[in-house]
Amino acid sequence: MSGQSAVSAAKAALKSQAIELPSWAFGNSGTRFKVFAQPGVPRSPEEKLADAARVHAHTGVAPTVALHIPWDRVDDYATLAAYAGDLGLRLGAINSNVFQDDDYKLGSVTHPDAAVRRKALGHLLECVDIMDATGSRDLKLWFSDGTNYPGQDDISARQGRLAEALSAVYERLGDDQRMLLEYKLFEPAFYTTDVPDWGTAYAHCLKLGPKAQVVVDTGHHAPGTNIEFIVAMLLREGKLGGFDFNSRFYADDDLMVGAADPFQLFRIMYEVVHGGGLDAGIAFMLDQCHNIEEKIPAIIRSVMNVQEATAKALLVDGDALAKAQREGDVLGANAVLMDAYNTDVRPLVAEVRDELGADADPVAAYRSSGYGQKIVADRVGGTQAGWGA
């Protein structure tokens, strides 16, 4: 492909990209040490949607919003979906929560007590009911289940309980619905986690069937893990269901995606592009915490970071790369990749946004919109949304 047609193709791909926003990123969040509240934070699912709509208006590529149940529980999900539609949005993945009830101290679907397991399963099935109402395609399952001390519970028995619950949920899924199983190395469990790595998630999804897929949270790996390798593996196996994007220097730091290691994000997006993942129904979701920075512009910046990494990945000269790889030209192949990475794609992405009717400089546009000041003035009283609230 010539340089110019590569750029055109990249622009087309960028225009059709959709990045899903997590409703909870608009609320307060923090660490176990402290949650710092911010003025203007939403107090309801509707206000979260309103904020999300601003992000989409400025960036043009964030048309869906993931919900977290029970944090976004409403009486009538169809009404909420319609409200989203009025804002130019759609409701995205439903995220279950089986980690914040007192009953879940020793686990949810893997708890030694069958009564707790039943309760947890009930919640997961309720989430599928909500999907029916919202029209959501994806159920995202993250389990905090695990143990803190050696001997605390039986590792293998917990896998059996997990398999049982997953199977029951799988059976309940509609034809066009999927379950996305997330893995995480540790936290809040500090000795074993019941789905700690992609291998475990993959093993379960393989047994469940095609509607079960793995979701890669970029912050959930052991130090040194090559995440793009996992992405390539799962894509190859047809088992990559989606991403939870964020970034980290240490553990599950949940910083803005691309903030800690933009080159890693590029390498991940390169594997997605190269493996045909842009058109494979993969959900590109943000999952971040904005503990100390302003939330809406942080989310805008995150969307831009994914977009810029995608743009660079799209600019890799595939023919030149394949040739260098075939010839065993280590430096040449690496240089092809680095050439794309070193390109300043900001003008290109600004054009894309411009052509989409969004803003060339989304953060500046948000700043000058007055929206930030407006929500601070308006959202007085009530209970602010918080991570876990």
Q: Among residue numbers 238 through 277, which ones bind a second copy (CB under 8 A)?
A: 248-251, 253, 255-256, 259-264, 267, 271, 274-275
Bridge pairing between strands 192-193 and 146-147 = antiparallel
> Please, which residue, 131 or 255, has the CB nearer to a second copy?
255
Question: Tokens representing 363?
Answer: 């953060």
Considering only residues 299 to 338 of the shown chain, the ones binding a second copy according to CB under 8 A are 301, 308, 321-322, 324-328, 330-331, 333-338
User: Which C-beta is closer to a second copy: that of 131 or that of 189?
Assistant: 189
Identity of the residue, 36 or 376, whose beta carbon is nearer to a second copy in the bound complex:
36
> Contacts with a second copy in 78-97 (CB under 8 A)?
none
Residue 198 touches a second copy, criterion: CB under 8 A: yes
Nearest of 225, 208, 209 to residue 267 by alpha carbon? 225
Instruction: State in angstroms the smallest separation of the CB of 123 from a second copy.
Output: 15
Residue 90 or 346: which CB sits closer to a second copy?
346
The three-class DSSP label of residue 278 is helix
List the one residue from 9, 82, 86, 105 that touches a second copy (CB under 8 A): 105
Q: Which of residues 347-386 bind a second copy (CB under 8 A)?
A: 363
- By CB under 8 A, is residue 102 in contact with a second copy? yes
- In the shown chain, the binding pattern of residues 39 to 78 toward a second copy, with x for contact by CB under 8 A and - for none, equals ----------------------------------------
**Of the candidate residues 75, 175, 279, 344, the single one contacting a second copy (CB under 8 A):** 344
Residue 308 CB, nearest approach to a second copy (Å) = 8
Binders in 166-185 for a second copy, by CB under 8 A: 185
Give residue 326's identity as a one-letter amino acid code: R
Q: Look at the block and give the residue holding tokens 């919900």.
A: 67
Non-local CB neighbours of 197 within 8 Å, separated by 6+ positions? 183, 185, 221
Q: Which phi and psi (to 5°) does residue 150 adopt?
A: -55, 135
Q: Look at the block and give the residue holding tokens 């109402």.
A: 133
- The amino acid at 234: L
Kindly determine how many residues on this chain lie close enough to bind a second copy according to the rule CB under 8 A.
104
Residue 6 in contact with a second copy, rule: CB under 8 A: no
Contact assessment for residue 48 and residue 42, using Cβ atoms and an 8 Å cutoff: yes
- CB of 44: closest distance to a second copy in angstroms? 22
Three-state secondary-structure class, residue 177: coil
223 lines the binding site for a second copy (CB under 8 A): yes
Round the CA-based radius of gyration of the chain to a whole number and report it. 21
Q: Indicate the pairing of strand 34-35 with strand 192-193.
A: unpaired
Question: What residues pair up with 64 in beta bridges, in sequence order?
Answer: 20, 90
Transcribe 374-389 into DSSP letters: HHHHH--SS---BTT-
* 3-state SS class at 236: helix
Coil, helix or strand for 93? strand
We find the least distance from the C-beta atom of residue 127 to a second copy, in angstroms, to be: 18
Site for a second copy in 8-27 (CB under 8 A): none
Q: What is the spatial distance between Cα 254 and Cα 259, in angstroms, rounded to a whole number?
A: 10
The answer to whether 152 contacts a second copy (rule: CB under 8 A) is yes
Q: How would you classify the pairing of strands 212-217 and 178-182?
A: parallel
Instruction: Give least dist CB 126 to a second copy, A.
Output: 19
> Taking CB under 8 A as the rule, does residue 31 contact a second copy?
yes
